[in-house]
Amino acid sequence: MKDIAILGSTGSIGTQTLDAAKVLRCNVVGLAADSNVDLVEQQVLEFNVPYVAMENEQAALELSRRLNGKNVIGAVALDRPIVLSGKAGVLEIARLAEANTVVNALSGCAGLVPTVEAVKAGKHVALANKESLVAGGAFVMPFAKEKGVVIMPIDSEHSAIFQCLQGNDISGLNKIHLTASGGPFRTYTPEQLEKVTAADALRHPVWSMGQKITIDSATLMNKGLEVIEAMWLFGVGLNKIEVVVHPQSVVHSMVEFKDGSVLAQLGKPDMRLPILYALSYPNRVENSFSKLNLFEMQSLTFERPRRELFPCLSLAEAAITYGGNMPAVLNAANEAAVGLFLQNKIAFTQIAWLIESAMSAYDILNETSFTLETVVHYSGWAAEWVRNKIKEVVKCSL
C-alpha cells in the first residue's frame, strides 16, 4: 500500500487523486491546500488524514477549530489531526516522514519548492505541477536521480509518452508527437480572438480543469509548458518534439521510432486514469471509471497548431532554447498575465504580448547564474514586471 501526501488536495487534480486513492486503497497521510476549509475538512475525515496544512493561516485556524476532538482513525498517539499553516506548513507535508509518495497538484510557480523539498526528503513524486520542471528541470531531474527518486508524470500527455516508451530503447526514438486539444478558439479569426472574454476561455470543449490551466489551454501556453516538461522528463531535445492539435482528445500522445512505427496511447479524457497509473506503476489496476468505446468514435483528426494566432507555444520554445532562468521568467509572466485576464484587466491577446515583453526585458539584464534561488527570484521579478507593465499601459491610455 502506498502512503501518499497530496499537495493541492482541493483542486481538480487533487480531488481526482483522492478518487484514484480509493481505488488503490492508498493510505492518505497528508494533505495541503490553500483556503477551502469545508472541502479539506471533508477530505480529512473521509480519508482519516493525520496531517494537513492550509497555506492561508486564517483557514488553518478555522480548520483546527472544526477538527478539535475529532479523532482520526490510525493517527497513532494523536488526539486530533495535526493542522499546519502557511507556506512552511505546505513544505512540511511535502517532506512528511510518513509518506513515501508525494502528489504535487499545486498550481503555478508555488509548486517548485515543494517538489524540491519532496525530492530532498527522498520521496517519489507524482507530478502534475508542470512548472516544477519548466522553471527548475535543470536541477530537479539530476537531483531526483542522485536521490534515487522517481518522478512520475500525471499529465495525460506525458503519461501517454511514458507508457508508449515502456519496453523500448530511448535511443530508437525519432519523435514525440505531443497532442493538444487546441482549446475553444482553435478555429477563430484574429478579429474573434480580440473579443474573447474570460468566461469564453473557461469553457473548454473537452476537459474539466482548473481556471489557470484552462486559460493556458486556450492560449496554447499549456502545450508550450508541456514541451519543456517533456524535454526534462524524457531527456530529449526540442527537435524531437512535435505538437499536434487533436480536437477529440482521445489520443493522448504518440511516440514515433526510427523504423517508422508509431505507438499511441488512447483513452477517455479523464485525468483519473493517468493519476491511477502514476500511483500504481508498474501495475495496472481495474477500476469503474468510464472506458473508451471505439465504436462511438466518429473520427480522429490531427492538425498543425496555428502559431501565428497562438504565439505562446513559440514563446515557450524560445524560452527553453535561451535556457537559464528564461523558462522561469516565461512561466511566471504567463501566470501573472493569466491572472490579469481572469480579472478582466487585459484582453486575451495581451497575454502573449505581456509574456514576450517580460522575456525581452529579462534578456537585457544579461543575468547568467542559474540556481533554485535565482529561479525563485526571477519568477517574482517577472510577475511584478507584468503587473507594472500593464499599469503603465493603463496610465498611458488615460
| Cβ within 8 Å of residue 38, ≥6 positions away | none
Backbone angles phi and psi of 43, in degrees to 5: -65, -45
Residue 185, helix vs strand vs coil: coil
What pLDDT does 75 receive?
A: 47
Sign of the CA dihedral with 60 first, then 66, 71, and 72 last: negative
Domain boundaries, the chain: 3-154, 155-271+279-320, 323-398
Residues (pLDDT < 50) of the chain are 74-78, 395, 397-398
Cα dihedral 247→249→255→261 (10° resolution): -80
pLDDT given at position 108:
86
Torsion of CA 133, 219, 315, 139, to 10 degrees: 0
Q: Can you say how many angstroms the Cα of residue 22 is from the centroid of all Cα atoms in its chain? A: 22
Q: CB under 8 Å to 207, separation ≥6 — which residues?
A: 181, 214, 217, 249, 269, 271
Helical ranges in 4-98 per DSSP H: 12-24, 37-47, 57-67, 86-94
pLDDT at residue number 298: 87
Nearest to 27 by CA among 7, 47, 8, 13: 47
Secondary structure class of 195 (helix, strand, coil): coil
Q: How far apart are CA 103 and CA 328, in angstroms?
A: 22
- CA separation for the pair 116, 332 (Å, rounded): 18
315, 355 contact by CB (below 8 A): yes
Name 245's bridge partners. Answer: 180, 303
Omega prior to 282 cis, within 30 of 0: yes
**What's phi and psi for 377, nearest 5 deg?**
-60, -50
> What is the pTM assigned to this prediction?
0.93
* Cell triple for 66: 472544526
Q: State the Cα–Cα distance between residues 14 and 289, nearest whole angstrom.
A: 17
User: Which residue reads 497521510 in cell numbers?
Assistant: 29
CATH topology classification for 3-154:
Rossmann fold (3.40.50)
Grid coordinates given for 175: 519523435
pLDDT at position 142, please?
95
- 193 in Cβ contact with 185 (< 8 Å): yes
Number of neighbouring beta carbons within 10 Å of residue 376:
18
Name which CATH class applies to 323-398.
mainly alpha
* 23 vs 5: CA distance, rounded Å: 16
